[in-house]
Structures are given as C-alpha cells and as structure tokens.
Structure 1
Amino acid sequence: MMTTTTPATWNPAVFTAAVGDAVQAPSIHNSQPWRFRLGDDGIEVMLDERRRLAAADADGRMARISCGAAVFNLRLGLAVSGLPARLGLGSGPVLVHLRPARPRPPTPTEARLHWQIPRRHTNRGAFADVPVDPCGPHQLMAAARGEGAWLDFVTDDAALVSLAELIRDADARLRADAAYTAELRAWSTGADHRVEGIGALAAGAAPHPAELLTRRDFGGPGRAMTCDVARRPVVAVLGVLGDDSDDALRAGLALQNVLLTAADLGLATAMYSQPIEVPATRERLRAAVGRIHDPQLVLRFGYAPTTCYTNRRPVTDVIDP
C-alpha cells in the first residue's frame, strides 16, 4: 500500500530511469546539453556549457529550451514512479532543483504522455497532405498554457507566407556564416555512428528551394523536386511571458508538453529555430505575431510516417556523482 509520507529523496534506480526519460528530449543539433545529479534533498539539472553551440546558440537560449524539455520528461518519469516532484529554479550552474512531493499515482494524462516519450521524434521529412483534426490545435494550445506559455497558430494564408519568408531569410543569413556552417557539419557528418548529432538517416532530404518552410540542411541527399505535398501546413509560434534565461527554460517545459501531446494525437512535429537564432529576424517575428516578448520557436504539425530516430548518449554519461 502506498505511503502518504514525503520521501527524503528518490532512490538511484528511480532517478536513473527518470534520467533515461529526460535524455529523450529534443535539443538543437541533438547536442544534448544537460547533466543531472541526485543529492540528499533532490535532483539538480545543470546546463552543460561544453555542449552549447557557439555559432547557432551564442546566448544559450536554445540550450536552455532543450534543458527545459528534458526537465519535463524527467518530471513525468518521476510522476509515473509514484514519487512526483516539486520544481524550483536553481542558481549558478544549476538550472532546476527538483524536490520530492507527496507520493501519489500518476494521472491519466501523465501516464499517456510518459508512454509517448520514446515514441516522439522530430520530423525532418515531408508531411502528408492530410488535414489536421480541428480539435488538435486547441489541445496543443492547452498543453502550452499548462506550462505558462502561449502557442499562436498561423491561420491566415498571407501571414503564413510572411512567416515562411522570415524562416527562409534567417536560414540564408545563418548559412552565410562560415562558423555556423562548420558547426552544423560537425554535428551532422557521420552522426549515424555517434550518440549525438543529426545523422543522414534522421536528416531527411536536403531542403528544396520550392519548399514553403525551409528546413535546416543537415546534409541529406538532394532531390530534383520537393516531396512536401501538404498544401495547408499547420504552423504555430511558441513563446512565454518573458525573455530571460529562466523564461527559455519554461519555454522548454511547454515545448515538451506540446510535443508529447501532439504525439499522443498521432501528429508529427517539425521545429524551426532559425528565425529565433537571428536577432533581427526574431524581432520581426515578434512584431508579426503581435506579442510583447520574444517568440521561442516555430512549430509545424501534421501527419507523417515515422522516420529514423536520433541517437542519445548513455545515461551514465550525463549523470554527475
């Protein structure tokens, strides 16, 4: 019978299993910029500065979003163990400190989303020309709001074309930077045989000039014509009420809630961070969506076949003693 007392901390087996869930979160270039430590009073989640991308993520925004997504998975893993966590912001190198809450069974939503953790993956290929159920966006917006974020869907054709132009412009600016392209190749070339980065099998085809939404080029094979046949892509912009480093972390929590909810709805998701990585384009995007604070990510939802998953480092590589 489950006790109602608050545990002193999680045991190593529960902690290790939850970290195994955490590392399934997405990260820019699959850089996996996180570390975890189990202490006497809880779990600390830290940003691994050695894995922050100097060219694509100079201010560390995307790394913190990635860590926030990992924290969401970690929290789900602890919840389904029957020992949920209270989340508090850390200080210095510690981003988040999780402390035990009262034991309880997981909620049905926690159980469903946890089941999707190993099944969710980023779609870097084509989407089917199949309309998304109109109820889907409402459920995704609710998932974002559950973590204090906003998810604005772009429903106007002219606005969608304008957003596509911002993505295309940001991608071109980034590719014109030699340091950026060298970093991108370092995290993609040969990654099929590594536990990090984006390998050719997961990269999808090279972006085609006729694509509406320009994907990042991870070195996939070129094609004579675009394979993206979806005529009405479902696209949204994710953000939170704030622009500092803690807000980027909260955006990551919301992002993972949205991604797992999408997976639970049978939807594939693609992510476009290029317009966020270029400050001038980010400002134009903020003005376009009419928000006070910076957007954190552009997301696309739809139906697509399962493609290759990216690899992950062993759990033992991301746990500090």
Structure 2
Amino acid sequence: MIVTGYTASVLDTAVRAAVRAPSMHNSQPWRFRLRDGGIEVRVDRRRPLPAAGHGHLGDWAAHLACGAAVFNMRLVLACAGMPARVRLCPDPDDPDVVARLVPDSPAPASPAEQDLLAAIPHRRSSRLPFFPEPVPGEIRWRLAQAARAEGAWLELVVGATAVGALAQLARSANRVLDRDPRYRAEIAGWTRGGPATDGVPARAGGPVAEPQDLLPQRPFGERPHVPGQDFGAEPLVAVLGSAADSAVDRITVGQALQRVLLTATDARLVASMVSQPIEVPAARERLRTALGRFGIPQMVMRIGYGQPGWPTPRRGPADVIDGRPDAGDAR
C-alpha cells in the first residue's frame, strides 16, 4: 500500500513514542501537527530554559530534544510500514519548525529498527550509581556506530587519566552553573514533588551529590547515598558531537543521541546525560580542544550497567498536538 499522507491516527501513535524522548529537565519543548499529509515538529516557545538551554546556547536544548523526538517518530512510522522522509528546518520563514516528516517509499522495517522501537518504553535516565562491570568492546562499537549512522560522532573517553580530566572539567562547569541563582531556581522549578506531566520527580533525581562523586549530578532529589554505593571510579564516558553547531547540526545530533541511548537500552545498559560541560562556553571549548578532533561537542553521557532509572512523567498527545479539538486539554 502506498501512503500518500499521514493521518491523525498515525500522528497520535507517533507522538505517543515521540514524547518518550529525553529533554533537559524533562521540559518536553516540542509540539506536533499535521500539515498537507506530513508531520511537523516544532519548538515549543512556551517551555523555555532561560538559564541552561537558551541564552548563550540559543536553542541547543530544544533542538536536541526535538531531534530525539523525531527519531522516535521515524521508528514508529518505519515499523508501521510507513517510513518517513525527513527534512530538517524546512521553512526559512519559520525557524520553529525543526523537522517535517512525509511518507517515503514503502519498505519493511529492519530487525534493528524493530529492536530500537521496542526499547523506547524502557529508556530512562539513570541517576543512580552503576555496577562496576565494564561495558564490552563489541557494545562500545555498536554505540559508536549508532552515532555514525545518524551523521554524528561519538568519542569514548578511555582510561582513568582521561576520564578524570573530563570529570574535573564537568565538576568545574557545574560549580560555575551553581553560582547562578537563576540556574538554581530553574532546577527547583522543574523538580516535582507530586503528580505532574513534566519535570523530574524528586525520587528520580538520584542521591544527593557527595565529594567523592566523579561526575556532577543535578540537585533534583534529596535522597542520601546508600552506604557502599558510590558512582564508580571509572565509568564509560562518551562525548557526542557534530561537525558544526547550526540548528540542523543540533537536530541531527538529537536524533543520534536517541539512537545511541536506545542502542544502549537494547544492550541492557543504562545511561544519564552530563551536559554541564556543554552549557558553560569555556568548558565546552576546553572539551573540544582536549578531544583533539574536528567538530563540536554536544552532549556528555555516562553509560554502564546498573539499576534502571525511575520513569519520568510525559504529556499526552492531547497536550502537544496542534490543530485538534482537544489540543491543550489536560490528560
């Protein structure tokens, strides 16, 4: 069957997966709509991150999040036999439209696409300590290949010295951010102590940071460390990056980020993002120089074996789809 345009029902199904994508502070900065048989993904300007995601980084946080949502939609459509052709930033007159998905030639989904789709409900950021078991080389190769398949690069930071240097950079960036009262207010504003459809529940925030922690944690929660369960001396740390830093580059990296995270989930790994070195310009430049490779760092990740993170809430299709009678209603 040749699909000439997506329907409202298809959009609804795709959006249910799209909203499972990661976003800074679980801010979910996206909206969706049908237009001429295609699906548009837009930045939601009503959900800004003024201290972290916007400002000197422009729409960095929103673009990565929307790119990750686009990747989830691609998987749903491909596995439904309706693969999409994607255009990034398709309207020069409307920069809030980050992507447009239109039906491509029918084709069966690959086993890899089916596996990644199955991983979407299980992908969660884990802010808990990881187990000491190392990530095998074959899985590390799969993670790097996942980034490459989406037009990005993934640098695995190997060795205690290199990991320690990156961790020092991340902790320094975290101290810079924490000195800003707007940043602290932003974290508090996205921390949820009760039922919610966005933000980070305090129970999902991980234990309170302690001096021995290698990498910094956002102060979402207030739980103490469990005795004897530190975050590990040498986790697998990966830096995801792009060739440049345009809107298209960031949306592309967002798709690569989600492919890497779902690949990790499929391999029974857990991960969390450490974006502080990206949020501070001087730290980002030092990281770029230290990596010694062409391109722009866009995200730092901590990857390993461990307990899956707590699920975080998501808004439903009625809250994020424009142009439908129930758009914006509570769900």
TM over 0.5: yes
Do the aligned residues in 2 keep the contact of 1:208 with 1:226 (CA within 8 Å)? no
Matches within 5 A, 1:116-195: 116-190=119-193, 192-195=194-197
Extract structure 1 runs of 4+ deviating beyond 6 A.
none
* Matched position secondary structure for 1:185: helix
Matches within 5 A, 1:1-321: 3=1, 5=2, 7-58=3-54, 59-89=58-88, 90-91=90-91, 92=94, 93-190=96-193, 192-223=194-225, 227-228=229-230, 230-321=232-323
CA distance in 2, matches of 1:119, 1:80: 17
* Alpha-carbon offset, residue 86 of structure 1: 0.2
Structure 1 segments unaligned to the other structure (5+ residues): none
Do the aligned residues in 2 keep the contact of 1:128 with 1:228 (CA within 8 Å)? no
CA distance in 2, matches of 1:129, 1:176: 33
CA distance in 1, matches of 2:48, 2:290: 29
CA distance in 2, matches of 1:290, 1:61: 22
TM-score by length of 2: 0.92
* Alpha-carbon offset, residue 12 of structure 1: 1.6
Do the aligned residues in 2 keep the contact of 1:14 with 1:81 (CA within 8 Å)? no
Letter paired with 2:70: V
Do the aligned residues in 2 keep the contact of 1:197 with 1:310 (CA within 8 Å)? yes
CA distance in 2, matches of 1:62, 1:291: 23
Structure 2 segments unaligned to the other structure (5+ residues): 324-331
What is the RMSD of the two structures over their aligned residues, measured on CA atoms? 1.3
Do the aligned residues in 2 keep the contact of 1:36 with 1:46 (CA within 8 Å)? yes
CA distance in 2, matches of 1:201, 1:266: 22
Letter paired with 2:239: V
Kindly provide the CA deviation profile for residues 44-69 of structure 1, in whole angstroms up to 9, marking residues without a partner as x. 00001111200011212011101100
CA distance in 2, matches of 1:300, 1:127: 9
* Alpha-carbon offset, residue 219 of structure 1: 2.8
Do the aligned residues in 2 keep the contact of 1:151 with 1:238 (CA within 8 Å)? yes
* Alpha-carbon offset, residue 291 of structure 1: 2.6
* Matched position secondary structure for 1:113: helix
TM-score by length of 1: 0.95
Letter paired with 1:266: R
* Alpha-carbon offset, residue 226 of structure 1: 6.8
CA distance in 1, matches of 2:167, 2:220: 19
Do the aligned residues in 2 keep the contact of 1:15 with 1:78 (CA within 8 Å)? no
* Alpha-carbon offset, residue 105 of structure 1: 1.9
CA distance in 2, matches of 1:50, 1:266: 35
CA distance in 1, matches of 2:101, 2:111: 22
CA distance in 2, matches of 1:85, 1:189: 36
* Alpha-carbon offset, residue 228 of structure 1: 2.3
Kindly provide the CA deviation profile for residues 168-207 of structure 1, in whole angstroms up to 9, marking residues without a partner as x. 01111111000010011000142x4111000112111111
Do the aligned residues in 2 keep the contact of 1:44 with 1:94 (CA within 8 Å)? yes
Do the aligned residues in 1 keep the contact of 2:31 with 2:41 (CA within 8 Å)? yes
Deviates more, 1:275-284 or 1:11-20: 11-20
CA distance in 1, matches of 2:43, 2:65: 9
Letter paired with 1:174: L
* Matched position secondary structure for 1:50: coil
Deviates more, 1:96-105 or 1:143-152: 96-105
Q: Which residue of 1 aligns with 2:327?
A: none
* Alpha-carbon offset, residue 293 of structure 1: 2.6
